[in-house]
Amino acid sequence: MNDPIPNEFRRGPPTLKDAVEPIATGSNPHDMTDEHDIGDALTALAESGEPVSIYPTSSTNVVMARIRSVDPENPYFVLELNEGEFLPPGAATFVAWLRSAKIQFNLNSDTWTSLPEQPTLLQLEFPLKCMVLNRRSSARLETPLGVYYMASFVMNGKPYELQLYDFSAGGVGMRAAPRDAVGLHVGKKLQRVRLELGPDSVMIADLEVRLSRTFRSFLLGEQVQIGCQFANLSPAMEEELKRLLDKLNSSKQRFG
């Protein structure tokens, strides 16, 4: 199938109130350079309809847009500018929130090319590099590839089992197919969640859902990301969590 993945906007055009500041100098972002990872990130932005803030180097104005679609086979995406907006020639910095992180990349064009008879739609090539800055207050630890750590709990009499993909002293990230994440809305409190944080490392904790977003993975198709914050952690549980994280981090350094 050669048709790009469409973005059905659920909100109106982004305004300047939605503008995202560029990553501050002195921050410590990491670089994303793999084309497939960049494609996944742009696809997630298209799926969620997150506003994209564009900062042309030749202007002090912020241009607001959204990613309309991403070509599933070629490194191109379509950007939709607000009606009446335009990009001046030259370099520009693109910034957006991507799930739990800020993503930023630069593109440069002497003539930003619009689609025929559609001046607000620009076809752009993937950037060669994206900067990614995680916005969590505490450092996260990603689960090892090929190892499935799970979060299990019961809500309203229904059992849930979701895969953990990262965790930190502040909370955990889970993901699942949409059918397995029904009811996990922002603000939902999850009680007595059984967290498997590595071999022979299990913790029971209360969580609050702080992030719930759908994204499309090139490998897994449509997925839901659930970001949770720990709630009601006692000092003893905080100490136990720190011990587990230190253990997992040292194992990762030793074998990773």
Cα–Cα distance for residue pair 31/11, rounded to 1 Å: 30
Give residue 137's identity as a one-letter amino acid code. Answer: S
Contact between residue 81 and residue 65 where contact means Cβ atoms under 8 Å apart: yes
- Tokens describing residue 129: 């590099």
| Beta partners for residue 121, in sequence order | 80
Cα–Cα distance for residue pair 154/189, rounded to 1 Å: 11
Cα–Cα distance for residue pair 70/178, rounded to 1 Å: 21
- Tokens describing residue 254: 């030793």
* Dihedral (CA of 102, 107, 111, 122) sign: negative
Residue-level pLDDT at 124 = 95
| Beta partners for residue 225, in sequence order | 175, 213
Q: Structurally, what CATH architecture does the domain formed by 140-255 represent?
A: Beta Barrel (2.40)
Alpha carbon separation from 242 to 138, 202, 209, 231, 239 (Å, rounded): 12, 13, 21, 15, 5
Cα–Cα distance for residue pair 153/117, rounded to 1 Å: 52
DSSP state of 127: P
Q: Which helix (H) or strand (E) covers residue 253, if one does?
A: helix 235-255
Residuewise pLDDT in 10s, the chain (256 residues): 334 444 444 456 777 788 888 988 877 788 889 888 899 889 988 888 889 999 999 888 899 999 999 998 889 999 999 888 889 999 999 999 886 688 999 999 988 988 998 989 999 999 999 998 875 444 555 555 445 688 999 999 999 999 887 777 788 888 889 999 999 988 899 999 999 876 677 889 999 988 887 777 666 678 888 888 888 888 888 888 888 777 766 655 544 4
pTM, whole model, 2 decimals? 0.54
Looking at every residue in the chain, the average pLDDT score rounds to: 82
Q: What class has domain 5-134?
A: mainly beta
Q: Please state the domain extents for the chain.
A: 5-134, 140-255
DSSP codes of every residue in 52-105: EEEEETT-SPPEEEEEEEE-SSSSEEEEEEPTT--PPSEEEEEEEEETTEEEEE
3-state DSSP assignment of residue 239: helix
